[in-house]
């Protein structure tokens, strides 16, 4: 279960963001701004992250707050799965990232696969839609829905880019050190299970 302080900080931020969007009274706007600042202070104090960075990452949006969408491509070739080594932590993950506005899920998957792994893919089906913070225990300030999509590998070649260091196919028994904030071992196992089953019901929290 998520730490109470983190849950409270997120709730305060969501209340403040909605209040700032819909309030007309200047005194109410000021109060909601104070609530937002309080949520930033809580997050900064408990995580040790600089106040300005928390503000830019955690309280940088307007309008009614909704979960972010993170897409992950489960790309298979000869019963092995394609992983990329992340620049940011030198660990491995499924190709993917934040979904771009204006693109469909399939288009986002194909874009991320090409950019991060040099892989041309054909999306087949949605494996799962998971609440990130239910499965990964850290102090992430965001509410995130992670969409895992099974893909067929059509070909391609890794190209140097600003996000990943390399790309390689792995079997389930020989997975490298994973970038757990992006995907866990159990989520990789879930993707393999889906691949082996022609009748697989989409998993969601």
Domain-terminating residue out of 12, 30, 58? 58
Q: pLDDT higher for 185 or 198?
A: 185
**Domain endpoint, select from 38, 58, 78:** 58
118 belongs to a structural domain: yes
pLDDT, tens digit (0-9, with 9 covering 90-100), for 58-116: 677 666 667 889 999 999 999 999 999 999 999 999 999 999 988 999 999 999 999 99
128 lies in the same domain as 197 = yes
Q: Say what the pLDDT of residue 145 is.
A: 94
pLDDT tens-digit map of 7-58:
888 888 888 888 888 888 888 989 888 998 898 888 888 888 788 877 776 6
Residues 99 and 24 in one domain: no
Same domain for 31 and 131, yes or no, is no
Same domain, 54 and 74: no
Q: Is 19 within a domain?
A: yes
| 130 and 38 housed in the same domain | no
Query: Range of 29's domain?
Result: 4-58
Instruction: Say which residue, 122 or 141, is predicted with more confidence.
Output: 122
Residues 125 and 47 in one domain: no
2: pLDDT confidence band, cut at 50, 70 and 90? low
Please check whether residue 82 lies inside any domain of the structure. Answer: yes
Residue 198 lies in a domain: yes
SS3 of 145, please?
A: strand
Q: What is the pLDDT of residue 7?
A: 81
- Alpha carbons within 13 angstroms on the beta-carbon side of residue 192 total 18
Q: pTM, whole model, 2 decimals? A: 0.75
Characterize the bridge pairing of strands 144-156 and 68-77: parallel
- 150 within domain boundaries: yes
What CATH number has the domain bearing residue 191? 3.90.79.10
Q: Tokens at residue 50, please?
A: 């600089």
- Beta bridge partners of residue 117, listed in sequence order: none
pLDDT for the residue 148: 98
Helices (H), the chain: 4-22, 26-47, 51-58, 105-117, 132-135, 185-196
Same domain, 91 and 122: yes
Instruction: Judge whether residue 173 has pLDDT over 80.
Output: yes
Contacts of 110 (CB under 8 A, 6+ apart): 120, 121, 123
Cβ–Cβ < 8 Å for 143, 67: yes
Structurally, the chain folds into a number of domains equal to 2
Token pair in block for residue 7? 């849950």
Q: CB–CB of 90/111 below 8 Å? A: no
Q: Are residues 42 and 96 in the same domain?
A: no
The better pLDDT of the pair 122, 48 is held by: 122
Residues 154 and 107 occupy one common structural domain:
yes
Q: For residue 64, what pLDDT is reported?
A: 66
Instruction: Return the higher-pLDDT residue of 136 and 105.
Output: 105
Q: Other C-beta atoms within 10 Å of 62: how many?
A: 8
Residue 63 lies in a domain: no
Are 175 and 77 in a shared domain? Answer: yes
Residue ending a domain, choose from 14, 35, 58: 58
44, 74: one domain: no
Q: Are residues 109 and 152 in the same domain?
A: yes
Among 62-66, 123-127, 129-133, the range scoring the smallest mean pLDDT is 62-66
Domain for residue 171, yes or no?
A: yes
């Amino acid at each position: 279960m998520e730490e109470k302080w983190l849950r409270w900080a997120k709730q305060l931020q969501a209340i403040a963001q909605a209040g700032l969007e819909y309030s007309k009274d200047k005194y109410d706007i000021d109060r909601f701004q104070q609530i937002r600042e309080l949520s930033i202070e809580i997050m900064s104090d408990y995580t040790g992250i600089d106040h300005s960075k928390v503000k830019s990452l955690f309280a940088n949006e307007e309008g009614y707050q909704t979960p972010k969408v993170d897409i992950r491509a489960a790309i298979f070739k000869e019963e092995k799965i394609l992983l990329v080594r992340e620049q940011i932590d030198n660990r491995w993950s499924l190709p993917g990232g934040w979904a771009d506005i204006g693109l469909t899920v399939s288009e986002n998957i194909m874009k991320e696969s090409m950019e991060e792994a040099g892989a041309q893919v054909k999306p087949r089906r949605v494996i799962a839609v998971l609440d990130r913070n239910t499965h990964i225990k850290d102090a992430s300030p965001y509410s995130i829905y992670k969409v895992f999509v099974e893909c067929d590998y059509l070909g391609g070649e890794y190209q140097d880019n600003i996000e990943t260091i390399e790309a390689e196919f792995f079997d389930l028994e020989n997975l490298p050190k994973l970038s757990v904030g992006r995907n866990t071992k159990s989520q990789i196992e879930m993707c393999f299970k889906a691949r082996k089953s022609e009748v697989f019901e989409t998993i969601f929290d």
